[in-house]
A and B are shown apart, each in its own frame.
Chain A
Amino acid sequence: EVQLVESGGGLVKPGGSLRLSCAASGFTFSIAWMSWVRQAPGKGLEWVGRIKTKTDGGTTDYAAPVKDRFIISRDDSKTTLFLQMNSLKTEDTAVYYCTTDCSGGSCFGYWGQGTLVTVSS
């Protein structure tokens, strides 16, 4: 059974940093493209960014609102995905979901339960 378990959310002040983790199990993590998707309170879904497999270069892509502030990384030996969030803004307040990309980075096949990040003074 595929499991994605996010952790690391919490309350942080504007300008602060936070690191989210996503522990994966039940599938071969090293061959999976992974994404982060967020959802502001009462709002829709927004893709944050993606990391490809090492075989595919391990490259990352980011949504414009987070580019140059957020960094996605992965530790295949620990089957864990990370999201380093820097220079946080109030508009980054959201539930952050870890997801597995379907083949070729198309759909988002499996989702974690999400972790809430609140940016407020």
Chain B
Amino acid sequence: DIQMTQSPSSLSASVGDRVTITCRASQTISSHLHWYQQKPGKAPKLLIYAASSLQSGVPSRFSGSGSGTDFTLTITSLQPEDFATYYCQQSYSTPPTFGGGTKVEIK
């Protein structure tokens, strides 16, 4: 199975900050990488698919980049509603696997 490693596992940031979350795959996965946001007690929500494509309805302050083994999710100006846990997921091979999550907390 492909292992997905996210860093950091948690971070504290202020409203308006630029936030960057990293996801690394244990082998090359081309651009088969997706990002989700999950708020407490809620289901995950797809933010970015195929490494850099913004899901419909997702604010443009979210962006994704990378290919191969290293990927990044960036939030350009953190908003109060962005405090949540973020997960990456690879779909290059079965089983699809998720990163361990990055919790974004209020500083």
Q: Which A residues have a C-beta under 8 Å from some C-beta of B?
A: 37, 44-47, 50, 61, 63-64, 97, 102, 105-114
Contact = CB atoms under 8 A, between A and B. Distances in A.
A63 B99 contact: no
Interface stretch (B18-26, B41-49, B67-75): B41-49
Nearest to A6: B43
A110 B36 CA distance: 11
Contacts of B3: none
Chain B interface, DSSP helix/strand/loop, else mixed: loop
Interface string B85-102: 001010100111111110
A63 B46 CA distance: 21
Interface of B: 1, 32, 34, 36, 42-46, 49-50, 55, 87, 89, 91, 94-101
Interface hub of A37, A44, A63, A114 (most chain B Cβ within 10 A): A44
Given A106-B32, A106-B34, 16 more contacts: A44-B100, A45-B44, A45-B101, A47-B95, A47-B97, A61-B95, A64-B1, A64-B95, A102-B49, A106-B49, A106-B50, A106-B91, A107-B89, A108-B34, A108-B44, A108-B89
A113 B36 CA distance: 15
B34 A46 contact: no
B91 A114 contact: no
A114 B43 contact: yes
B46 A47 contact: no
9 contacts: A45-B101, A46-B98, A61-B94, A107-B46, A107-B49, A108-B36, A108-B44, A109-B55, A112-B43
Contacts of B91: 105-107
Nearest to A113: B43
Contacts of A102: 34, 46, 49
A53 B16 CA distance: 44
Contacts of A63: 95
